[in-house]
Amino acid sequence: MPVAMAVANETCVYPLTPPGRAALASLAVCGPGAVALVDSLFRPAGQRRLSDVTANRILFGHWMHGDGEEVVVTVRDPRQVEIHGHGGTAASRAILGSLTAAGAKAGSWQDWVAQQEPRPIPRDAQLALVHARTERTAGILLDQWQGALEGEIQQIIRSLQCDQLDAARQQIDRLLNRSRTGRHLTRPFRVVLAGQPNVGKSSLINAILGYPRAIVNAQPGTTRDVVTGTTAIDGWPVVLSDTAGLREHADELETAGMTLAVGELAAADLVVLVFDHGLPWTAANDNLCGGWPGALVVHNKCDLPGGAGERPAGLRTSATCRRGLAELLNEISLRLVPAVPPRGAGVPFTEAQTAGLRTAQQALLAGDQRGAGDALGRLVYGGQRDVPPGKA
């Protein structure tokens, strides 16, 4: 394998902390020449040289010269050295530049993760973790890093090898049912509030976000653009979109806002249709409900006496009196994630994992046991490794 050999014989430097101002900037130097290379550029403050110390001993010193940048350096193992300096882009760039000038190849932090973790699913979980916005989503990704999804897929492969096809099918279905949640571990859910003008959409968004993100006014047709706010609901990352009120006889500007609103609705993970509890129920309201049958219906302004007419079931809120908000958030959470994966459960969190599971599902449906095993094996072992063949 000449390519793999070439990589194994290279000495590479990877920035481990993001560019920008921070307290610390860390770099890793990996490869057969790591210790010698860093030793040639590092001036320890004490007597001991880097090549003399045992693994994980921390040495303080300067970079390149006695009056160079202050750094602490530690040898993690004979092929890996870490350098920690003051945060800030210039200092870490200078250290990186001197290492590449001395022969190291520059890589990205993603390359470093890939180099440390050859197993595709734990590797991808580490890469995905930087995009987790809440503790809850980070916790689920940490489970995947620790082998939750990998373990469940290996279990399915074992089921296939033992001809337990029903069990394998159920296990695949269970994982696929969690893939929608998995997709949103790194990408927020999109929840769009829509309804007639003046029903209190902007007021509700502001009440949920806890600050006046959108303009509220007694004048119908106040919101024209799509106004978004990012928050977490029950630990799930959510982008809330406030949209222009939808009505039949609108002026040109309002119509442009409504076109934007409809685009936003089409891309939503959840539509919340807001109605004015104080106004009579209308045929236009029925049309809105018919247009988005899966929407969550909210009757806002429940502090006002109910308007005439029979209205569909829905939550009652008052944005101005802050009533019914906890119930609304609870219902949004339930609609977004109806079945919360148990702690430690496998959750597919990339499109490739979901696609691989679907391929396996289809292969099983077509009676192709071996094809299903191969698709699952590629997820666990990557493209190069041979998967133990199934019995079929």
Number of amino acids touching ligand GTP (CB under 6 A)? 22
| Stretch 194-213 residues interacting with ligand GTP (CB under 6 A) | 197-203
Q: Burial, 94: exposed, middle or buried (Cβ in 10 Å; 0-12, 13-18, 19+)?
A: middle
Q: Which stretch binds Mg ion (CB under 5 A): 217-225, 285-293, 312-320, 334-342?
A: 217-225
Binding string to Mg ion for residues 247 to 276, with x set by CB under 5 A, is what?
------------------------------
Interaction between residue 218 and ligand GTP (CB under 6 A): yes
> Considering the rule CB under 5 A, would residue 206 count as an interface residue with Mg ion?
no
Among 159, 223, 354, 361, which residue sits at the site for Mg ion (rule: CB under 5 A)?
A: 223
Residue with tokens 């210790």: 35
Structure tokens at 316: 């009652």
The entry of Mg ion, ligand GTP, none near residue 303 (CB within 5 to 8 angstroms by kind) is: ligand GTP
Q: How many CB atoms lie within 10 A of CB 77?
A: 11
Query: CB-wise, 19 or 280, nearer to ligand GTP?
Result: 280
Query: What residues contact residue 92 under an 8 Å CB cut-off, 6+ apart?
Result: 15, 17, 19, 25, 27, 85
Q: 133 to each of 51, 155, 232, 239, 349, how far by Cα in Å?
A: 41, 30, 8, 12, 14
Beta-ladder partners of 232: 237
DSSP assigned state of 51: G
| Amino acid of residue 13 | V
Query: Choosing among ligand GTP, Mg ion, none, which partner's interface includes residue 177 (Cβ < 5 to 8 Å by kind)?
Result: none
**Contact of residue 304 among Mg ion, ligand GTP, none (CB under 5-8 Å per partner type):** ligand GTP
CA distance 113 to 289: 48
Say which entry of ligand GTP, Mg ion, none residue 301 contacts (CB below 5 to 8 A, set by partner kind): ligand GTP
27, containing H or E segment? strand 24-30
Is 223 a binding residue for ligand GTP by CB under 6 A? The answer is yes
Residue of this chain nearest to Mg ion (CB atom) = 223
Task: Check binding of 221 to ligand GTP (CB under 6 A).
Answer: yes
Q: Which two tokens stand for residue 228?
A: 């978004």
Q: How far is CA 331 from the centre of its chain?
A: 22
Whole-angstrom distance, CA of residue 319 vs CA of residue 212: 12
Shortest Cβ 222–Mg ion spacing (Å) = 5
**CB 230 to ligand GTP: min, Å:** 19
Is residue 243 near Mg ion by the rule CB under 5 A?
A: no
Residue 229 binding ligand GTP, by CB under 6 A:
no
The values of phi and psi at residue 85, to 5°, are -125, -175
Binding to ligand GTP (CB under 6 A) within 306-325 occurs at 318-320
* Shortest Å, Cβ 257 to Mg ion: 10
197 binds, among ligand GTP, Mg ion, none (CB under 5 to 8 A by kind): ligand GTP
Q: Binding mask 240-259 vs ligand GTP (x if CB under 6 A, - otherwise)?
A: -----x--------------
Report the C-alpha gap between 104 and 109 in whole angstroms.
15
Q: H/E element holding 13?
A: strand 12-15
Token reading at 255: 């119509």
What SS3 class is residue 300?
strand
Looking at beta carbons only, is 152 or 254 nearer to ligand GTP?
A: 254
Q: Contact positions toward ligand GTP, by CB under 6 A?
A: 197-203, 216-218, 220-223, 245, 300-301, 303-304, 318-320
